[in-house]
Amino acid sequence: MADIIATNETILVVGGGISGMTAAIEAAECGKQVILVEKNPAVGGRVSQLYKYFPKLCHPSCGLEINLRRLKANKNLRLLTMTEVTEVSGEPGNYSVTLKTAPRYVNENCTACGACAEVVDAEFDSEHNYGLSKRKGAYLPNLMAFPQRYVLDPRIIGTPDATKAKEACKYDAIDLDMQEESHTLTVGAIVWATGWKPYDANKIQPYGYDRIANVITSVEFERMMDPHGPTGGKLLRPSDGKEAKDIAFIQCAGSRDRNYLKHCSRICCMASLKQTTYVREQYGDEGKSSVYYIDIRAIDRIDDFYQKVQADETVTFIKSKVAKIEEDKETGNPVLHGVNTEGYHRYATPHDLVVLAIGMEPSVPAGDFPIKVSVNENGFIEQDEANGAIFAAGCSADALDVNRAVQNATASALRAIQVVNQVAGTEG
Amino acid sequence: MSTVNQVMVEKYRNDFLKEVKANVEEGDWVQMCMQCGVCSGSCPFGPYWEHPPQEIFMMIRAGKRDEVLTSDSMWMCTSCYNCIARCPRELPITHIMHGLAHYADRLGLAPKNQPTRKFAIKFWNNLAKKGRVNELKLGLALYFMNGFVEGIKTALKNQKLGLNMVKTKRMNVMEMVGGHSVKDTGGLHAILKKAREIEEAKAAEFKG
Amino acid sequence: MAKKEYSFYPGCSSQKGASASNYQVSVDAMCDVLDIKLNHIPDWNCCAASIGYAGGGELPRLALSARNMALSEQANPDQDLVATCAACWLATRETKERLQNDDSLMAETNEALAAAGLKVEAKQNVRHMVEVLIEDFGYDELGKHVKNPLEGMKIAGYVGCQTNRPFGIDGESFENPKYLDKLVETLGAEPVDNYDKKVSCCGGALAFSEPEKSQALIRDIIEAAYDGGADLIVTPCPVCQMNVEVYQDQINAKYKTKFKMPVVYYSTLMSVAYGKSGKEAGLDGQIIPAKPLEKIAGK
Amino acid sequence: MADEIKIGAYICQGCGIGDRLDTAKLAQVAQRDAKANVVKEHEFLCSAEGVKMIQDDIDNEGVNRVAICACSRRAKTDAFNFENVAITRGNLREGVIWVRPDTDEARETTQDMADDYVRMAVVEAKFQKPPQGDQNTQYTPNILIVGGGVSGMTAAVEAARAGYQCSIVEKTGALGGAAANAWKRIPQHAPYADPEDTGVAELVAAVEGSDKITVHLNATLTKTSGAPGRFSADITTESGSTTTENFGAIIQASGYTEYDANKLPELGYGKSPNVVTQAELDAMAKEANGGPLKTQDGKDVNSVVFVQCAGQRSEQKGHLPYCSGHCCLTSIKQAMYFKDQNPDIDTNVIYSDLRTPGAGGEDFYRSGQRKGVTFTKGQVNEVVAGGDGLEVKFKDLILNEDAVEKADLVVLATGQVANSGVDIEAVVKIEVEDEEGGGEATEEKEVKVEIPVDSILSLDYRQGPDLPQLKYGFNDSHFICFPYETRRTGIYTTGPVRRPMDMQQAIEDATGAALKAIQAVENAAKGRAAHPRSGDLSFPSFRREGCTQCKRCTVECPFGAIDEDEERYPLFNEERCRRCGTCMGACPVRVISFENYSVDTVGQQLKIVDIPDEFEEKPRILALACENDAYPALDMAAMNRVEYSAFVRVIPVRCLGSVNLIWITDALNSGYDGVVLMGCQKGENYQCHFVKGSEMAHERMSKVDATLQSLSLEPERITTHEVAITDIERAPQLINEMAETIEKIGMSPFKF
């Protein structure tokens, strides 16, 4: 990593999700020098954990494949994984940035042959599947993972597993002595695209995510639907592994709520509408979806998707913020209590499975941002002159769907280019 | 009391929301409701509300003054605070319900024989007199609040209860004479009188 | 540990011959062991509870609690104001916060208090006894004083409403507070885990005015305790204690149930575990005798 | 040296290839059968030494065609990355050993598979040329922006800030567009509590103050021709004077027209002057300039009702089926116009779903409530002009009753209609329909050509004067991940013409569009392809003498890259080309090819495959797989060790649209027993990143039945599938199904 070349005409992009990749690739394809850092072992971010996109119901990995090809082909773009930004100082056109790279314990010799994973015994919760399944202590983060290179979980270092892995590798790709590295470099502009995390469902106490097995989150549901996900594409109840056919979707789970996130996370309505189509796809008329909502926010052109779902007689909409969920001890069914406010109808309805349309919490380190930027009380980075040449992209800027995140990231790339072009101009 | 009602009707014409904002405890919050209904679903007495809180808020906006103020729904509040704890907009719903009940009572619109209303009034009068609650008098008053015959029935029904309480020294027959009290009853009454004056004055001078 | 002193607000129900007089007895026993000195607020008055609203209205109601705070500030400055009754605590703390966040309300309140030559600043912390136990002592310290562990006893921790919402105990959730369970464990007994009625409402003051409706709620609370295999129910609130204990006969009559579930205060549990006598622990105040506790207290 | 071909074939033994396969035999095959000039084996080809070995041959042995026989073309790209040579990959790992069982009985067929992939890699290399890129581009970096509203001005200002010259062509006499008539805008900054200044004046000042921006007012485009880097645009003013300028890229920011409220008589529009649209209300507010808003007859306004979704989100004929996204926030903003003036004015927003997304949106909603704006979930049925003011009749959906509300003013939240010019696909449809004389064609015509619209871009393209529309008249991208993709290279749309949006979104959107325009210019300068084959330097060349002027290539090019010259021969515009090869697939006489992708690079591969005679019981299946979805799916199947038939030979193609029928007939003639085509999803929600490729392939294949009959072959021998990148189990299964079919119907008689 010592060979990173960066100047004050270089653009640093922080975060390798869809927004960061877009900002980096778009800028690089304009001929700019770009460094893209990602704290995970592979790029792709949240979208790589999605089964389908709304409203087209197409597969995120398809776009990811294209972006990966663009990334592989572009010589202006340098990718650093397992790397985070620890310090930033300076001003537009001349920032000094300190990067911290965690040891992967696997070097570029790795051919992704998988021999190490075969011999390692230790298993850990799979990050890719939100802990719904296990993965080995030596692993490839996912099938689309780029760099296509294995990782050793730090928790196996110093254990016999680590030595076994090393011995299993014919290509001397495993380096157990790898240490954390730190590098300081100069860049002209910074695009901040650290994305979002699902709001901690345990905090939404009335819904008992921590107490009731058959209450799950929308991101977990999404993994379940993936044919190569933890349940092989089946909707299985955590409590008893039975197929769930009567499914409740609770909107604004953590969003639009002063007790949790006060902003609207924008994507959840469309996400749940999309997920009702999964239920239909699985069971046809046998399945049943109930959406408990405050307002259905199927914004602009894609409102027609909402209209299509409304026409599906297996899907019902209840205008209600569910008050609380209790578990039916016999059946393990979550029972939803509340009032449908359209005409005041009280309900206590059992479902096989409850999906919390979980809110979007920005992953902006609001408190300890490495340099002064203006962050609003929702935790997103405000567009502000005072931020200098630090530009938020995607869900660091607002709760955005993929399409808008990419749009926003493309804009941020230009803002960064303006800065480095100015540097280039003034420096002849 | 109903003259007060006339005054308010005059003052706010048909703008009930403004009236509530001006005269009802925490009434300003009503406009912040987004009709999610979590309060209505959270109330332990929910099934007994003819109009649950969120609907009452909507009725206030819709100017349904009489329907709201004569309703006995607010009187169903057990002060469990579930609604406040869960409201996504932080509305102090319990207090708004109390405020509406009190306001309705002040205007003489509250349903006359609503049991909780009667109890609440008696409770207040009881404590306002000596500064501390006289549980026995309150209890008896309660039994007879629906008239003598009813009272005997209730009293008999609760006789065993009463005896138990006495046996376990958790009720004192001597309270009929004397009983607990603050020493400075004069001061206490002065405070309450003044507080009431201030409140009345505010309601009167507020220009919708 | 050094003696701890608090400005104490007993509340009406804790008075001699009142419905929670046994609560006070057990609290005194508990404090004796923990070396807590409760300095009673002189000439305190009723807080108007949560039912005073209809007659009182906003300012008069607040004035009542303000008067107590004013007297407390006079008599026991630089002490926390502590109440054992949920309603007393809630009303007082609510008043404190309302006054602090609303200057005009503060002014009006003091205008009213002035009528009796009083003035309030509302600066003292207003705390429930449970907060004192958990925050100022902690489970370990509370455990140290256990002489007679309550072994073999299964206890349902019924938290109820007003010690839990809207303020509650710091760090506990509204839907599933654990502190009573932890306390039960600390005292050597077994808590009923996922006791799903632990924060359900008992009807509160409406147990008087709406007995049928309230008793329906109370039935579920007791039933769930039996389902969880409880020998007795423990609670931090006088209204909860009263409602859940004293109506069991009427509920049995109405619902053909055979309830005989003792309902005790945490302070009673602690006093017994701390080796106090049944009388000191207020066990003679039980309408439904808490036999398992009596056995131990008898030792 | 470019013409003296020297092929190096490099066979890796790593990742178990050496253990599972006889690599010596592979080397022999490369040399003897495929005629590789240099052949080397290496135990770990992607290692530094392995890579160096290859680089040395390139530098010292003059190797200029490199066939890497190792892992998939998707793996180890960083290692196998050599300058100025043609590189091919023989997929021995994901393509062979990972999909075959390690058993003795499987060994022979597995080796056959590997042998063929080596042959194929070498012969593909042989027929490839390293792409040079288009050298002779005489390009201009200037950017043309159509439309002088917020979107257009933002695009210009942002591009200028990056150092690019811009010209704005605005049809009206002034800059500002729709926003110029607005009083305030929805807040764009925390705390998102109050309407803020529109910022239009500042934007106009920035445009006029920039020495990099030229503005043409009262002007339209009358002819636009050329390609990225060399567009030529005729800019004609009202007066009729025309100037011709050259541009590198074009941004279309032609904005929207407010939905015609006259179509909503039931809501009282046109019947009472006090029923106005949101745009009209904002104009009134601007007029009042901070003073109180009055009714049309000059009375004070005491109550205002906002009717959301007026003529929107409705299936009713003549209404808009979509949501315009901004209207809820706009109504809140406008209600504040009144509330900030005088809190006693009643403002009620009647909505069905209140849509205030994101952080700012929800904050603004709360702020509206705090200011006393009331919100009613309801369905407005009628607005009638009563004696004193207006009566709004609606169903209150919460109180579940019919209600009437009096109001002095009613504001209708009507939607945005895109100014997207001519719907060229409608026109094309009619052409096609006419040729076939279809019955419904006439109807089709009536529906489509309702109102004759002026063209926005006046493109001198064979495919028509404007951009293809996606849905409801918007020129949006079809792709979630690539919001700026249009089907005309170097031309990008932005603002409400792309998707209904408010000012804030338009500003973000225009900034992004400016980047794409800049990128198009830079790509054109270097002869590089734009997305999705970004950076591809190859370009289509065509043999004029062979061409029969059948026009298929010009018609079928999804990007309108091919015009016709005066002699009606196809005229390729490389800078418009996305290198998908659809033209190549379309050409019946096979005169179109790319340096590194041609009829031969694929054709020779399938021909060099060894076809055992029918008695050997070793059928051969040709699989042509889309390189973006089906091929990765097969790779991932391999990573999961999903097994499939050893009789298949998979060739990745840029797009199924590039598949030329000759490959199919060649395959059948040379004795293949089956052909499997795997492309992307087609139809309305098509997944093909070259738009129509998969569609066209299916279309063409549906017509080969005839050919099959003529060869008296069963139609089952050819199957065409839509395969998604997630079809990790299904893609192998499709191959196995073909193997089973062949077992059923028997081997092809065409083996020699």
B94 or D388: whose pLDDT is higher?
B94
Query: With the C-alpha atoms ordered D394, B89, D337, D181, is the resulting torsion angle positive or negative?
Result: negative
Tell me the CA distances in angstroms from C143 to C12, C146, C186, C272, D573, one per residue in order.
30, 6, 5, 13, 86
Is D354's CB within 8 Å of A296's CB? Answer: no
- pLDDT over threshold 50, residue A149: yes
Residues 6+ apart with CB under 8 A from D332: D186, D349, D356, D364, D365, D367, D368, D373
Cβ contact D424:D475 at 8 Å: no
Q: Chain B neighbours among C 77-106 (CB < 8 Å)?
A: none
The nearest alpha carbon in chain C to B192 belongs to C60
Q: What is the pTM of this model?
A: 0.95
Helix or strand or coil: residue A220? helix
Nearest-by-Cβ selection for D519 from A26, A53, A404: A26
| C-alpha–C-alpha distance, residues A183 and C128, integer Å | 53
The amino acid that residue C198 corresponds to is: K
Q: Chain B neighbours among D 390-409 (CB < 8 Å)?
A: 396, 398-399, 403
- pLDDT over threshold 80, residue B44: yes
The interaxial angle of helices D424-436 and D441-448, nearest 10 deg, is 160
Cβ contact C222:C251 at 8 Å: yes
| C-alpha–C-alpha distance, residues D90 and A373, integer Å | 51
Residue B144 binned pLDDT confidence (cut-offs 50, 70, 90): low
Q: What is the CA radius of gyration of chain A?
A: 23
Residues 6+ apart with CB under 8 A from D123: D34, D604, D605, D608
Q: What's the angle, vertex CA D722, arms to CA D720 and CA D724, rounded to 5?
A: 145
Cβ contact C274:C146 at 8 Å: yes
Is C175's CB within 8 Å of A326's CB? Answer: no
Pairing of strands A360-362, A196-198: antiparallel
Tell me the CA distances in angstroms from A70 to A15, A74, D85, D477, D530, one per residue in order.
17, 6, 20, 19, 10
Is D374's CB within 8 Å of B31's CB? Answer: yes
Residue B161 binned pLDDT confidence (cut-offs 50, 70, 90): confident
Helix or strand or coil: residue D469? coil
Pair of tokens at residue B182: 């603050």
- Average pLDDT of span D133-152: 87
The nearest alpha carbon in chain B to A341 belongs to B37
DSSP string, D281-319: HHHHHHHHTTSPPB-TTSPBP-EEEEETTTT-S--STTS
Pairing of strands A315-319, A324-327: unpaired
| C-alpha–C-alpha distance, residues D396 and D412, integer Å | 18
Per this entry, what is the length of chain C? Answer: 299
| C-alpha–C-alpha distance, residues D226 and D234, integer Å | 12
- pLDDT over threshold 80, residue B143: no
Pick from D380, D44, D242, D33: nearest CA to A169 = D44
Cβ contact D475:D418 at 8 Å: yes
pLDDT tens digits, one per residue of D248-287: 999 999 999 999 999 999 999 999 999 999 999 999 999 9
Which of A291, A410, A420, A422 should be substituted to probe chain D, the one whose Cβ sees the most D Cβ atoms within 10 Å? A410
Sort out which chain B residues have CB atoms less than 8 A from C44's CB and list them: 182
| C-alpha–C-alpha distance, residues D554 and D463, integer Å | 8
Given a cut of 70, the residues of chain C with pLDDT beneath it are 299
Cα D26–chain centre separation = 41
**What per-residue confidence (pLDDT) applies to D440?**
45
Pair of tokens at residue C54: 């209809």
Cβ density class D550-578: b for 16+ within 10 Å, e for less: ebbbbebbbbbbbbeeeeeebebbbbbbb
**What per-residue confidence (pLDDT) applies to B120?**
93
Is A339's CB within 8 Å of B46's CB? Answer: yes
Is B38's CB within 8 Å of A323's CB? Answer: yes
Q: What's the whole-number average pLDDT of chain A? A: 96
Nearest-by-Cβ selection for B35 from D344, D365, D377: D377
The amino acid that residue D512 corresponds to is: G
**What per-residue confidence (pLDDT) applies to D503?**
96
| C-alpha–C-alpha distance, residues D647 and D17, integer Å | 19
User: What number of other Cβ atoms are within 10 A of residue B74's Cβ?
Assistant: 28
Strand arrangement of the beta sheet that strand A77-80 belongs to: A77-80, A33-37, A10-14, A189-192, A390-392
The nearest alpha carbon in chain A to C228 belongs to A329
Closest Cα in chain C, distance from residue B140 (Å):
11
Residue D606 class from Cβ within 10 Å (0-12 exposed, 13-18 middle, 19+ buried)? buried
Which neighbouring-strand residues pair with C8?
C40, C82
Residue A316 DSSP label: E
- Average pLDDT of span D604-632: 95
| Contacting subunits of C (3+ beta carbon pairs below 8 A) | A, B
Sort out which chain C residues have CB atoms less than 8 A from A324's CB and list them: 175
- Average pLDDT of span A354-379: 95
Pairing of strands C4-9, C36-40: parallel
Q: What's the whole-number average pLDDT of chain B? A: 88
| C-alpha–C-alpha distance, residues C242 and C19, integer Å | 7
**What per-residue confidence (pLDDT) applies to B11?**
80
Q: Which helix (H) or strand (E) element contains residue D592? A: strand D592-593
Sort out which chain C residues have CB atoms less than 8 A from A211's CB and list them: 176, 194
Sort out which chain D residues have CB atoms less than 8 A from B89's CB and list them: 366
- Average pLDDT of span D5-23: 97
User: What number of other Cβ atoms are within 10 A of residue B49's Cβ?
Assistant: 23
Is B31's CB within 8 Å of D399's CB? Answer: no
Is D396's CB within 8 Å of B15's CB? Answer: no
Which of A364, A407, A415 should be substituted to probe chain D, the one whose Cβ sees the most D Cβ atoms within 10 Å? A407
Is B58's CB within 8 Å of D398's CB? Answer: yes
| C-alpha–C-alpha distance, residues A402 and D322, integer Å | 20
Is A294's CB within 8 Å of B36's CB? Answer: yes
> What does residue A286 show for φ and ψ, rounded to 5 degrees?
-75, -30
- pLDDT over threshold 80, residue A3: no
- Average pLDDT of span D483-497: 96
- Average pLDDT of span D160-171: 98
Closest Cα in chain B, distance from residue A260 (Å):
8
pLDDT tens digits, one per residue of D399-452: 999 999 999 999 999 999 999 999 998 865 554 444 444 444 444 444 444 456
**What per-residue confidence (pLDDT) applies to D445?**
44
- Average pLDDT of span D707-735: 93
Pair of tokens at residue D669: 């003639």
Residue A136 binned pLDDT confidence (cut-offs 50, 70, 90): very high
Label each residue of D609-632 as H, E or C.
CCCCCHHHCCCCEEEEEECCCHHH
Q: From the DSSP assignment, how many helices (H) and strands (E) are in chain A?
A: 8, 22
ipTM score assigned to the predicted complex: 0.96
Is residue D589 within 8 angstroms of chain B, CB to CB?
no
Strand arrangement of the beta sheet that strand A94-101 belongs to: A83-91, A94-101, A181-187
Cβ contact D520:D226 at 8 Å: no
Is residue B206 within 8 angstroms of chain C, CB to CB?
no
Is residue B194 within 8 angstroms of chain D, CB to CB?
no
What is the C-alpha end-to-end distance of chain D, expressed in Å? Answer: 38
Q: Which helix (H) or strand (E) element contains residue D243? A: strand D242-247
**What per-residue confidence (pLDDT) applies to D443?**
43
Is C19's CB within 8 Å of B199's CB? Answer: no
Q: Residue D691, by phi and psi: left (phi above 0), alpha (psi -120 to 50) or beta?
A: left
Pick from A43, A91, A89: nearest CA to A67 = A43
Cβ contact D487:D211 at 8 Å: no
Nearest-by-Cβ selection for C208 from B44, B80, B119: B119
Between chain C and chain A, are at least 3 CB pairs below 8 A?
A: yes
Helix or strand or coil: residue C115? coil
Is C54's CB within 8 Å of B120's CB? Answer: yes
Sort out which chain B residues have CB atoms less than 8 A from A258's CB and list them: 87-90
Q: Chain C neighbours among A 86-115 (CB < 8 Å)?
A: none
Q: Chain C neighbours among A 326-345 (CB < 8 Å)?
A: 326-327
| C-alpha–C-alpha distance, residues D712 and D488, integer Å | 43
Strand ranges inside D352-450, DSSP E: 374-385, 390-396, 401-407, 409-412, 416-418
Is A65's CB within 8 Å of D629's CB? Answer: yes
pLDDT tens digits, one per residue of D310-340: 999 999 999 999 999 999 999 999 999 999 9
| C-alpha–C-alpha distance, residues D71 and A110, integer Å | 13
Between chain C and chain D, are at least 3 CB pairs below 8 A?
A: no
Is A344's CB within 8 Å of B41's CB? Answer: no
DSSP string, chain B: -HHHHHHHHHHHTT-HHHHHHHHSTTGGGGGG-----HHHHH-TTGGG-SS-HHHHHHHHHTT-HHHHHT-SSGGG-----HHHHH-TT---HHHHHHHHHHHHHHTT-S-TT-HHHHHHHHHHHHHHHHSS--HHHHHHHHHTTT-HHHHHHHHHHTHHHHHHHHHTTSS-GGGGSS----S-HHHHHHHHHHHHHHHHHHHHH---
- How many A×B Cβ pairs under 8 Å? 64
Nearest-by-Cβ selection for B88 from A259, A338, A346: A259
Q: What's the whole-number average pLDDT of chain D? A: 93
> What does residue A319 show for φ and ψ, rounded to 5 degrees?
-80, 95
Cβ contact A357:A271 at 8 Å: yes
Q: What's the angle, vertex CA C87, arms to CA C191 and CA C122, rounded to 5?
A: 120
Tell me the CA distances in angstroms from D446 to D420, D429, D433, D452, D468, one per residue in order.
19, 12, 13, 11, 19
| C-alpha–C-alpha distance, residues D534 and D485, integer Å | 12
- pLDDT over threshold 60, residue A167: yes
Closest Cα in chain A, distance from residue D152 (Å):
14
| C-alpha–C-alpha distance, residues A55 and D262, integer Å | 32
**What per-residue confidence (pLDDT) applies to B139?**
75
Closest Cα in chain B, distance from residue D370 (Å):
6
- pLDDT over threshold 60, residue B206: no
Is A258's CB within 8 Å of B34's CB? Answer: no
**What per-residue confidence (pLDDT) applies to B173?**
73
